[in-house]
Structures are given as structure tokens and as C-alpha cells.
Amino acid sequence: MSKKKLNPQTAIESGRARIDGKLKDLTDDQREIVLSMIAARERPEVLNATRLAPEGSVLSRVLRLVDNTNISYTLALAQIISLAAAWLTQNGARLSVPGLGTIRPTLWSIALGDSADCKTLASTTITRILRDSTGDDPVQMLPDAGSDAQWIEELAAHNGSHWYQDEVGQYVRKVLTDARFSRMKPWILNAYSSEPIANRLKGEDEKLQIDDPHYTFLGLTVGSTWHNCLDAESVLDGFLQRFNYFIATPRADKDAFDHFLFFADPESERVSKDIGDIWSGLIAQRGAAAEYTLGPDILPYLERWWGSLRGKWGNCPLPVSYTRRIGFSVLRYLVVLHWLLGKSGHPIDLETAELATRYGEYHLEAALCMLRMFDENPSEKYCTILDVRDRLIARGRPAEPRNIVMSLSAAQRRGISTSLVRSVLSVADRVDSTGLIGSLKTAKNGAPRCDRAALNERKRNEARIQRIRQTASRTDPFSDAVPPSANG
């Protein structure tokens, strides 16, 4: 029997949800998560993937590859980031952090997009471009599994591999509802922290145990059906919090009818070869798969960045459990981005750290959007409540639940209870100063980057790429390192 999915409005009005087959009262933390589903609003400018691809870098070239398609930039970026994390993990790269020891760059990501976003095409195309001269995939992939027993056997044989899962929403539903996959959820939760997982197979005297399970993960799914694949327990118990989310925002400049064939033009062929050559150069960097270290100013910078989030995220409806895990993933991003920028062999610098924190803030916004997907029609009900609240405040009247309900038409009151109004107002009053709650029509575009700064960034990254090309062409590619620029 399938588990009942979470209905945010019912849960917040009653204070209860069906968890593990039983109707239970929500804890304070669980109530915060449900409120997030009600209050979260997108900020399109923050979810703009071009902000995450520095000018002149291999990341910007990946975006250029899909420029003449209607493929979301976000999907292309998620794929190259995941493959980079996989290559680094499989080749032994790690980050040394004072007080924590070493950390692998094991990023776990889920990309949510529209059904017409060409999600699979974006992933397979980039993987094909990065294949070596023998035609082998750029990273070792985790084979598909038809049961939990097969999954743990495959992971034991391919520990450290890259798990790519198309239609991950449907797969998660199987993990949650199919008896053949019933043991996978706790194994996945333990694998996130590389804690031992084990299974005793039929006819075996000794159980199969993986002492240090680890892998990178990228899942793709349709955002509009994501909420149908998960139950209340998985939303509220931390299962979803193990993943970073990419929201594949539709392209405003292209649609499906602009191009009959993708990647068939000479420019796409040229950019594809360019990306493949750069990938080979990145692999050939000295120290590419070694231990990465932090520059002396990186931890102070990260401490200041983390503290600066308090004003925006300390009182916002995103639960702190999500915020903490996304913040920790920034450490994994440091290795991935330093490598992609062609700076392996040198301590991680402020340029890399700033970009990594940009990814962190992107994932905070994306997590809010992901939670909002669990309410099937949020904009109509909650925007109505917030718009009435704004009008009352503008007229100098108290924005109280009774006044808001009295201001609604008979049609608007259907589906909007006083309890729901009270809950939405409690969140709106608490986070109004963060700018995360407000009329959807007031979202502002991000300030354009300074032309000079963008030009300097492009020149810096182009120079690095030129040097790693030269390094890759030598007989002994590890005989020299990529010299750092003034910014690393």
C-alpha cells in the first residue's frame, strides 16, 4: 500500500500529518518545514544559472553549448558539476579542513524541470563530449539495481561510483513504497555520512558490509510531479535534506520550435571539442586528484559569509536543517570549483570560495522552491492572503486574520480558512524583513555585473585554460602546475 503524500494545508491547519502509517502531531521542526511549503516564493534572479558560470571558464562554455537549444542552462550546469565531483571523488581528491579532517567532494544533487526540458538529452550529450579517446565514460557509473539487495551488492562492487538516476521521482517512490526496495532508505541516509551499511544475503553465513560507503549522485525528474512521489515522512524526517536542488528554470529566449535539431550546427561541434579538450587539461593538472588545502583567509571568509546569512535565512521559513546541510556542501563545492577553474595544486583562494558560496545561496533558494512544489496550487491561495494583507497595511488597518477573511469575496473564501490565514500571517510577519515573502510581481532583477569585472574574469579564466591546454599537451603533464593569477 502506498504511503499518503503530505498535504501542506491540511497539515498546518490540523497540526498533524500521517507519518510512518500513523497520524502524529507535528514537531516544531516539522511545522517549520510545512510552513516553508506555504511561504516559499521564488526569486528568479537568484535562480539564474548564468550567475554560476564565470566568464571564460569551462562552465560558461557548457552554457554556450546549449545556447542554440531550448535546454535549460541549469540542467547543463548540474551535469558538468556532478561529473566533475564524480571524477574527483573516484580519483581520490579530498579537502583538508581544520577540525574536520578530510572531506570528499561527494555532491548529491536533484534537478527539477519541466517535462519538455530535454533533461536526459542534456545529460547524455555532455557525458558523450567528455568521453576519452577509447569511448569510455568520463567516470565510473553505478549500475542499475532492481532491488535493495542488488543495490548494496552493486555499491560494494563499485563503491565511490557516480549514481545517475533519470526519473528520480519515480525511483524515490519505489524506495518508499516497494517492498523490494524497503531497506534502501536507511542505507542512503547512512551513506550520506559514509557510515557502515550491511545486508545479510540468503544462503550467506557472513553479511555483506560496506564500511565506507560513498558515491556522487545526480537525479533528474519532472518538477510538477515531484510532490506525488514522496510521503510526509520523507519530507519531514530529513531524507530530502541530503540533496542539493537545481531548479531548471525555462529559457525565456527559446522555445521548442526554434530548432528542429540540437547540436547539429558547426558552432556546437566547435564548442563540444573545446569542452572535451579543456576537460582533458583539467584532468592533467598537477594535484588534480590530491589533497586540497584552504588558503589562510578562506575559513574566516566562510565564517563571515555564514554569519551574513542570518538576516535573510535565520528567520525565513526554510528549516535550519536544510540550511546547515547546504552550507556544509559548500566545502565540497570548493574542491569541485577549484578544479574546474584550473587551479588544482594551489591552496583554495577567495575567488573559488566566493563562487562556492554563490552556489550555496542558489541551493538555499532552490530548496525553498522544491518545498513549495508540495502545495498543488500555492500561488492563488497564499498570494491572495498576502495581497489582502498588504492592502490592509497600506490603508492603516490591522492585518489580522478576521479582517483578512472579511475582505475576501465569497469565492475567495472557499479553500481559505481562518486557521490557514493565521498560519500564513505568522510566517509573513516573521520573515517580512528578509524579502523572501511578498507579492510575486515585485520580484526584481539582479543588478547587472560590472562590465570591467566581467572582462577581467573572462581574461583570467581564458589564460588559465590556455595554460592547462599547454600542460595537457606535454609528455609529462604533471611536471608543472598552473600558475595562479592575482586572484588564484
Calpha distance 131→139 (Å, rounded)? 9
The Cα-based distances of 182 to 33, 65, 96, 177, 430 in angstroms read 25, 40, 36, 7, 39
pTM of the complete model? 0.80
What confidence tens digit (pLDDT) does each residue in 398-432 have?
888 888 888 888 878 777 878 778 877 776 665 55
Which DSSP helix (H) or strand (E) runs through 371?
Answer: helix 350-372
Q: Spell 454-469 as b/e; 16+ CB within 10 A means b.
A: eebbeebbeebbebbb
Which amino acid is residue 456, in one-letter code? N
Beta strand 22-25 with 16-19 is antiparallel
d(CA 322, CA 155): 26
Q: Are strands 216-222 and 108-113 parallel, antiparallel or unpaired?
A: parallel
How many residues make up the chain in this entry? 488
Higher pLDDT, 198 or 316: 198
Side-chain-side CA neighbours of 396 within 13 Å: the count stands at 0
Q: Give residue 261's pLDDT band: very low, low, confident or very high (50, 70, 90).
A: confident
pLDDT at 452: 74
pLDDT in tens, 307-316: 999 887 876 6
Q: Residue 487's pLDDT is what?
A: 43
pLDDT in tens, 295-340: 999 999 999 999 999 887 876 667 788 899 999 999 999 999 999 9
Alpha helices, H only, 195-262: 223-226, 232-236
CA–CA gap between residue 118 and residue 261 (Å, rounded) = 12
- DSSP one-letter string for 68-87: TSS--HHHHHHHHHHHHHHH
Other CB atoms closer than 10 Å to residue 79's CB: what's the count? 25
Q: What confidence score (pLDDT) does residue 64 get?
A: 95
Torsion sign, CA atoms 230, 232, 237, 241: positive
- DSSP states of 238-252: SSGGGSEEEE-PPPS
Give pLDDT tens digits for 80-116. Answer: 999 999 999 999 999 999 989 999 999 999 999 887 6
pLDDT of residue 437: 44
Mean pLDDT of the residues in the chain? 83
The pLDDT of residue 346 is 96
* Overall average pLDDT of the 251-270 stretch: 86
- Judge contact between 140 and 124, C-beta under 8 A: no
Query: Within the chain, what is the greatest distance between any pair of CA atoms?
Result: 78
